[in-house]
Amino acid sequence: MDLELMINSFPKLLTASVITLKLLSVSLIIGLFIGLFFAILRLNKNIFINRFAYGYSYVFRGTPLLVQIFIIYFGLGQIEYLRSTVLWVILKEPYWCAIIAFALNTGAYTSEILRSAFQTIKPGIIEAGKSLGISNKVIFYKIQIPVAIRQSLPAYGNEIILMMKGTSLASTVTIMDLTGVAKYIISTTFKPIEVFIVAGGIYLFMTFIIHNVIKFLEKKYSFN
Partner 1 sequence: MELLAFGDTGWGDELFYATLMTIAVSITAMLIGFLFALIFTPLKLSKNKFLNFIANSYTTIIRGVPELLVIYLFFFGGTGAVMFVASIFGYNEYIEINAFITGAFAIGIISGAYSTEVFRGAIQSIDKGQFEAANVLGLNKFGKFFKIILPQTLRLAIPNLSNVWQITLKDTSLISVTGLVEIMRQSYIAAGSTRDPLFFYSFAAVLYLLLTFVSMKLINRLEIRYSRGY
Q: Does 212 sit near partner 1 (CB under 8 A)? A: no
Amino acid at 176: M
Task: Name residues contacting partner 1, limited to 176-205 (CB under 8 A).
Answer: 179, 182-183, 186-187, 190, 192-193, 196, 199-200, 203-204
Q: Which of 35, 107, 157, 166 binds partner 1 (CB under 8 A)?
A: 166
Amino acid at 137: K
Contact 219, 165 (CB under 8 A): no
Contact code string over 77-116 relative to partner 1, x by CB under 8 A: xxx-------------------------------------
Cβ-based nearer residue to partner 1, 128 or 197: 197
Burial of 22 (0-12, 13-18, 19+ CB in 10 A): middle
The 8 Å CB, 24+ separation contacts for 209-217 are 210/157, 210/160, 210/161, 210/164, 211/157, 211/161, 214/153, 214/154, 214/156, 214/157, 214/160, 215/157, 217/153
Contact code string over 42-61 relative to partner 1, x by CB under 8 A: ----------------xx--
Q: Does 70 sit near partner 1 (CB under 8 A)? A: yes
Residues at the contact surface with partner 1, assessed by CB under 8 A:
58-59, 62-68, 70-71, 74-79, 161, 164-169, 171-172, 179, 182-183, 186-187, 190, 192-193, 196, 199-200, 203-204, 207-208
